[in-house]
Amino acid sequence: MLKTLLAFLLAFAPAAQSAGQLRFSLHADPKTFHPLRVEDSSSETIRYLTGGVLIRVNRYTQELEGELASKWKVLEGGRRIEFELRPNVQFSDGTPLSCEDVAFTIQQLMDPALHSATGDAFRSAPGPVETKCSGPFTGMARFPGPIAALAAQFDQVAILSAHSPRKEAAVLGPFMVAEYKPGSFLILRRNPNYWKRDAAGRRLPYLDSIRLDILQNRELELLRFRRGEIDLVNGLDAEMYDRLAAEMPGAVRDAGPSLDSELVFFNQVPGSPVPDYKRRWFRSADFRLAISEAIDRDDLVRILYRGHARPAVGPVSTANHFWLNASLNPPIHSPQDALERLKRAGFRRSGDTLVDPDGRRVEFSMITNAGNKVHERMLALIQQDLAKVGVQLNVVTLDFPSLIERITRSFNYESVLMALTNVGLDPNDQMNVWVSSADNHQWNPNQKTPDTPWEAEIDKLMLSQAGSQDRARRKAAFDRVQHILAEQAPMIFLLNPDALGAVSGNVRNETPALLRPQFYWNAERLDIGPGWVSRK
Amino acid sequence: MTRAQKAALLVLALAALASLLAGWLASSSYSEQFRDAISAPPSARFPLGTDELGRDRFARLLYGTRISLLLAPAAALLSTLIAALLGGTAGYLGGRWERAVTTGIDLFLSLPWLFLLLAVRALLPLNTSPLASVVITFLLLGCLGWASPARMIRAGTRTLLNSDYLVQARASGITAARLFWRHLLPNLRPILLAQFWVSIPVFILSEANLGLLGLGVSEPLPSWGAMLRELENYTAVLRNPWMLAPAVLLIAVVSSLQLLLRTEDCNPC
């Protein structure tokens, strides 16, 4: 009892802040500090802040930038990369960086014994990876098969030292782990050997340290921010954002639509425990498009996200500047058009209910994860929208493991509402969703041969863009994929929530970006002023 | 009956009456979304304002009360009947049967019932109407809530069987049926009634807990549990204290039931 009370009091006790220290929170302890073993978001944060990578996706411009690699070239259709390293770069312990470190890292990454999730993106074919150094700063890596967006994949690969006695504790990023108290906090200290300098020639980072408090409770995190005990909150829900905006209007940041999306899809898996007549509905593009038209996306945005979201155009968020097919628009909400479309497909109204060509009442269930307030409310809104066209929607909330089991193994579901978290910009990051043979082709996965002509066309387009290094050709192919998806609606994209956060007034140089980590992506350039300016 | 108990009875009667007259008292349906009046304050049209989807909170409270007040006693009756059957026969028959039932009770009590409930719910057919889902939820609660009462009833039965007057009755050659109906059951009545009354608030709160986890009554049906989820947003509650209405009603009903239960404790048959 005393221990519990003490832990509670400690959770509320403000920690002393050092000068030049930025403070924010992680929502769980990092599961690993090994940068190649990262699988959870807390470890990813540590890797982002401490790891040095060859090539970085600039979260603001969304372009690739050389970090440790001053030059690189992707060859052999994405199988081989040649790179040239910046000279005079040192790890945090003073060990110099050389091509051997990069080769060592790539070999480690591809070592099956390490079970690296980051490495999975590089395993497009069986066989060993070949690495070769032609000089201290030049080298190449040749992978057994072509790798989609090979250069961009290196954004996730923190280079390890082949020679440092400190092993993975020797880092090339702007910060290094200095202290960790599990369940409580983690301190990252400035890497004195960080290679990057600002325009005035001053060595980065500006901050002396970052303190990451481990706070699972989002309300507590918000309370601490309001009390000025943490400096930024990366990721707020719309309700918390509005609450904070009312109290501290200068602190909240809406970076605009994120890459994430909310979507609905129907079970089209042959042989799944869905009645045949329902599967016929779900396999009808007219039926899916009518459901899409019947849903009022503007109301979802206004009511559930308080305006901090955008109706989705398709699988590519408007945040993805280059790959979005700009000729597409979000479906217009029109119950009348939905009914017309359903009539053309043989459905008809019988009183207040919609019946199919065989006279069966159109009723289906939609599952979502229990405890997710936004999803539960979204389903209630969709339920009323669909009732207007005579469709009876049964809302089912399930605990998350049951939901995943149903949509990935037993296929015992009719439709599902879920969120899609997207981290990559490149269409190749979505290969496992759009190619019909893929596991994550959720509405009908693992097809031996494409089930429909439009899925066959998508397969062809996705493979052709993946094998091309010509950006314009790739864009044209992926534009067509988006067009087909808009015509067929195998997944009904509802909206893209905005990236919301809060930054206290004493943080300088903050530039919110649309890509994760939106509010500290430029951590090496963030600075902190004296005193608290938390309430405005 | 004390004055407090009379007041408790009045509270319960009023709550029950209001819920039964929901169709007349509420101006709109519990499920209708007034999307232009999201989170509206109380008004003549919406006496308790609207929720975050623009639904009349007053109508939802009345219909939610109807669900809780109808189905919680039904679940309590079911669990008490199962408990009486298993606990009573275990205490009456003794021997192997008693050991088997006691082991079953211990096993059941050691199960994490919430996870069991989640697992059972996950196995239910998906196309269940909201009304069927609420009945199933309370049915599950009733079926899972028998263990504690069964233990009490078993102990009560054993005590009764060993009492002087029953030993005397058996020695005088009374038939088993007469012993059961004439002597055992009437004397078990206070325990059965107590278990029934105790179970009602337990099931009301269980549904509320499930509602808080999003696993209670399906949309669009209202329930106290689902309405209590609104209270997670504490700043909204501070600004809109009328959001506390379901919590106040829940406390009033559960407290009233507890007060009435005391009557049963104080006046055994």
pLDDT score for A9: 46
pLDDT score for B239: 84
pLDDT score for A530: 60
Nearest CA-CA distance, residue B29 and chain A, Å: 13
Residue A485 tokens read as 């998806």
In DSSP terms, A132 is beta-bridged to: A140
Per-residue pLDDT tens over the stretch A420-432:
887 778 888 888 8
Residues A309 and A495: beta-carbon distance below 8 Å: yes
pLDDT score for B14: 94
Tell me, yes or no, if the pTM score tops 0.95.
Answer: no
Q: pLDDT band for position B263 (50/70/90)? A: low
Residues A267 and A443: beta-carbon distance below 8 Å: yes
Whether residue B126 and residue A365 make contact (CB cut-off 8 A), yes or no, is yes
- Mean pLDDT computed over A328-352: 95
Q: Which residues in A359-510 belong to E strands, given as ranges? A: 363-369, 392-398, 415-420, 491-503, 507-508
Residues of B in contact with A399 (CB under 8 A): 118, 122, 215
pLDDT score for B220: 87
Continuous segment of H or E residues that includes residue B63: helix B57-93
Question: How far from each other are the two terminal CA atoms of chain B, in whole angstroms?
Answer: 15
Per-residue pLDDT tens over the stretch B217-243:
777 888 887 788 788 777 778 888 999
Average pLDDT of chain A to the nearest whole number = 90
The residue with greater pLDDT, A431 or B62, is B62
Per-residue pLDDT tens over the stretch B152-206:
999 999 999 889 988 898 888 888 888 888 888 888 988 998 888 888 888 887 8
Percent of chain A at pLDDT above 70?
Answer: 95
The contact set of B with A (CB < 8 A) is 31, 33, 35, 38, 52-54, 118, 121-122, 126-130, 213-215, 218-220, 229, 232-235
Closest C-alpha to A484, from A321, A315, A319, A334:
A315
Q: pLDDT band for position B214 (50/70/90)? A: low
pLDDT score for B110: 87
Which member of B54, B122, B129 has the closest CB to residue A399? B122
The residue with greater pLDDT, A178 or A116, is A178
Whether residue B126 and residue A397 make contact (CB cut-off 8 A), yes or no, is no
Whether residue B129 and residue A394 make contact (CB cut-off 8 A), yes or no, is yes
Q: Report how far residue A95's alpha carbon sits from residue A69's, in angstroms, rounded to the nearest whole number.
A: 17
Location of structure tokens 């298993």 = B86
Q: Report how far residue A10's alpha carbon sits from residue A5's, in angstroms, rounded to the nearest whole number.
A: 9
In DSSP terms, A74 is beta-bridged to: A81
Q: In what order do the strands lie in the sheet with A130-133?
A: A69-75, A80-85, A138-142, A130-133
Q: Report how far residue B62's alpha carbon sits from residue B125's, in angstroms, rounded to the nearest whole number.
A: 28
Which member of B38, B122, B130 has the closest CB to residue A303? B38
pLDDT score for A11: 46
Q: pLDDT band for position A222 (50/70/90)? A: very high
Whether residue A363 and residue B127 make contact (CB cut-off 8 A), yes or no, is yes
Q: pLDDT band for position A3 (50/70/90)? A: very low
DSSP state of A440: T
- Mean pLDDT computed over A158-172: 91
Residues of A in contact with B213 (CB under 8 A): 370-371
Residues of B in contact with A239 (CB under 8 A): 233
pLDDT score for B19: 92
pLDDT score for A18: 55
Residues A112 and A180: beta-carbon distance below 8 Å: no
Per-residue pLDDT tens over the stretch B120-146:
777 778 887 778 878 888 888 888 889
User: Three-state DSSP class for A340?
Assistant: helix
- Mean pLDDT computed over A89-116: 94
Q: Give yes or no for A373 touching B (CB within 8 A).
A: yes
Q: pLDDT band for position A317 (50/70/90)? A: very high
ipTM: 0.77
Q: pLDDT band for position A531 (50/70/90)? A: very low
pLDDT score for A1: 41
pLDDT score for B155: 93
pLDDT score for A534: 40
pLDDT score for A468: 77
pLDDT score for A392: 94
Question: Is pLDDT above 80 for A14?
Answer: no
User: Three-state DSSP class for A466?
Assistant: helix
Per-residue pLDDT tens over the stretch B99-127:
999 999 998 888 877 777 777 777 778 88
| Chain centre to alpha carbon of residue A462 | 20
Q: pLDDT band for position A17 (50/70/90)? A: low
Residue A183 tokens read as 């369940």
Which member of B122, B128, B129 has the closest CB to residue A402? B122
- Mean pLDDT computed over A451-467: 92
Residues of B in contact with A381 (CB under 8 A): 33, 53
Q: Give yes or no for A370 touching B (CB within 8 A).
A: yes
- Mean pLDDT computed over A136-154: 90
Percent of chain A at pLDDT above 90?
Answer: 74
- Mean pLDDT computed over A506-524: 91
Whether residue B214 and residue A373 make contact (CB cut-off 8 A), yes or no, is yes
